[in-house]
Amino acid sequence: MKALLRIAFWGLGISALGTLPLGTINVAAMQIAIAEGVWHASLFGIGAAIIEVAYVRVSLVGINWIRHRVGLLRLMDWLAFAIVATLAVTSFMAASNPAQEGKNLILNADVHPFILGVTMSALNPMQIPFWFGWSAVLFSKGILQANGRQYNWYSVGIGFGTLVGLAVFIAGGRVLVTHMQHHMQLVNYGIAGIFAITAGVFLYKILFNKGAAAALQAKQGEGS
């Protein structure tokens, strides 16, 4: 039991810290918290966490299948870029129109927040090399063992860690609403800028072969 709790806490810690750097999912969660409230943002986060756990399990048991689907990962890179670029453009448009209360095209599309979280997380293939790399480290240190029970506890820890990390941004969104009510247009421009920078990073990685497929191949090279 001690070993299972230890691997769960490792998963929780890695996932929570990995969620903190600014990115598409956590900034979207904050934007939803600002525009729609904590409950909708929480549903979004749960959807995103479920997909991240699914990617972890795939990285643990299906890495050989993924390795031969490089074209699929590249397609997902382009889809992810398209989503983030759309978020950036429509967030700038929404920020310039106070009547929209900062809502971008995707929020205004009336998509259920849980489905939105699932979709946006699924279109983020960089999670696969990220978790493949961390799992390889834990395997090499003897912390993670190749058995179903450890995989389950590890996955549960990761799911909770993602929710903890996203909770920081959801709470941050509500704080912004409370303390910057008269400067929300500036906040919305800032969120749009983050999406624009993220889209630029995605495009750079795709054009210079640094996307999910390349990252996965690099991680495999390190592990061999």
pLDDT given for residue 11 in this prediction: 93
Residues 6+ apart with CB under 8 A from 95: 102, 185, 188, 189, 191, 192
Closest CA to 213 of 18, 82, 23, 63: 63
Spans of all domains in the chain: 2-218
Q: How many whole angstroms separate alpha carbon 4 and alpha carbon 73?
A: 32
In tens, the pLDDT along 71-85 reads 766 777 787 788 778
| Of 36 and 161, more confident | 161
What's this model's pTM, rounded to 2 decimal places?
A: 0.74
* pLDDT of amino acid 159: 94
| Nearest alpha carbon to residue 41 among 138, 173, 208, 191 | 173
Helix (H, G, I), strand (E, B) or coil at 103: coil
The counts of H helices and E strands in the chain are: 11, 0
Percent of the chain with pLDDT over 70: 77
pLDDT digits (tens, 9 = 90+) for 77-124: 787 788 778 878 877 876 777 655 555 555 655 778 899 899 888 887
Q: How far is CA 174 from CA 6, 35, 137, 222, in A?
A: 33, 9, 36, 42
Query: Each residue of 7-65: pLDDT tens digit?
Result: 999 999 999 988 887 778 888 888 888 888 899 999 999 999 999 998 888 778 765 55
Among 53, 19, 14, 49, smallest CA distance to 137 is for 14
Torsion angle defined by CA atoms of residues 57, 61, 65 and 71, in that order, rounded to the nearest 10 degrees: 30
